[in-house]
Amino acid sequence: MYRLLTAARLALNAIRAHKLRSFLTLLGMIVGVASVVLVGAAIDGLGAYAEDTTAKAFGTDSYLVAQIASTGRLTRTELAARFRRNKRIREDDVAYLRQVTGDRILYSPYRQTLADVKRNELREENVIILGVSASMPQIRDILVEDGRFFTEMEARNRQPVAVIGQDVLAALFPSMSPLEQTVKFSGVDFVVVGVQERLGSAFGRPQDDCIWIPDTVYRRLYGPGTSLAVFGRPRPGSGLTLSDALDLTRVALRSRYHTPPGQPDNFDNLTPDSIRSFVDNILGLISTVVVPVTMISLVVGGIVIMNIMLVSVTERTREIGIRKSVGARRGDILLQFLIEAVVLSALGGAMGLVLGAIAAAALARVFEVALPITVTYVLLALVVSTFVGVVSGWYPASRAARLDPVDALRAE
């Protein structure tokens, strides 16, 4: 223990004696550790963002069935093949699903188009018009900030009522309540009955520049269309999980479409888990490529430490000779220089960790995203930086320890 304390004291004294050189030596390690921490925060932040946006776009326990639904970008060949294989989902298919499984599963058709919306002289262009059933708030966890969602009776009677998003509210009702006021699009006046809470964007698509209207009214305005999507969710108290409900829906549609046993579904489905899995795969690929690249800066920092330590050994050759002549053993010299390299590396790692945390906090504030500093990347950065310190310090330390005391004392 005494040998260790003595070696540590000598190493720290050497670092303090050359403060500027020691700091410049640390820069490579500081930048490397800060890079690893910042990249890790960005990757975890992207994962949290994907989780949040998936909940916004899908709800927490719902799924989507459509003619075409995919988490990735399909090639033209793949898209053409799916269009040939998959059936178009129509209104009578939704009615069939409700008849067969509606006692256990909530369903809502989902269609959308773009329209310019007006109120008096005010105008909002390219608003997303969404035609859904009155059960959509339960299915997708849609929260109404002011007013209410439209009812089943209003949908059945084809009443022109609407729930507007926050962007539409800001554009058409900048200084007044929109409730019981009218907006006009596609030649029809709609009474505003509610305002959806702000959602922000999901996967780059705006979620607040929209208007929800009954699917029955949507069909009257824009026609039945060629195909629609269907959102589903287990009814409260049914005891079904999302997977159970999706299986029931798939079985019902396969029966309706006469899909032969052993053949793939002739329709697509999408769940929050499949989206999260796709995003996790992308983030995993990014981690595999980016994190090792940032580690290169740690290696560069280690090379800088090794070079400076070699210079230090050369400068202190006479000191080493004096220590050896008064009884210092080879292991004492080795330990002193090795501790010096490890201390430099550890200090660089700690300062890089602080710098990375400050940079992550600043970027999170600027871009309004969460960039959490996770233990995994902190430990990774510190362990690697310490390992690099040991490796980079070993050769200079062993070279100092092998010096012949007579030759060292002759050095100028």
Q: What is the pLDDT of residue 152?
A: 95
In this prediction the pTM is 0.73
Q: Are strands 188-196 and 161-164 parallel, antiparallel or unpaired?
A: parallel
Q: What is the pLDDT of residue 221?
A: 94
Contact 104, 235 (CB under 8 A): yes
Contact 372, 48 (CB under 8 A): yes
Q: What is the pLDDT of residue 181?
A: 96
237/407 Cα distance (integer angstroms): 87
- Please give the C-alpha separations between residue 95 and each of 92, 101, 107, 123, 282, in angstroms, as whole numbers: 5, 10, 9, 36, 37
Tokens of 116: 């310019």
Q: What is the pLDDT of residue 405?
A: 65
Please spell the DSSP secondary structure of 240-291, one letter per residue.
--HHHHHHHHHHHHHHHTTPPTTSPPSSEEE-HHHHHHHHHHHHHHHHHHHH
Q: What is the pLDDT of residue 101?
A: 95
Q: pLDDT tens across 73-102, in order? A: 677 888 888 888 999 999 999 999 999 999
317/403 Cα distance (integer angstroms): 8
- Residues forming a β-bridge with 201: 206
**CA-based nearest residue to 148, from 136, 130, 131:** 136
Largest separation between any pair of C-alpha atoms in the chain: 105
Return the sign of the alpha-carbon dihedral for residues 173, 176, 177, 178: negative
Helix axes of 272-315 and 375-401: crossing angle, nearest 10 degrees:
20
320/404 Cα distance (integer angstroms): 9
Intervals of the chain under pLDDT 50: none
Q: pLDDT tens across 210-242, in order? A: 999 999 999 999 998 888 999 999 999 999 999
Q: What is the pLDDT of residue 341?
A: 78
Q: What is the pLDDT of residue 157?
A: 96
Contact 8, 331 (CB under 8 A): no
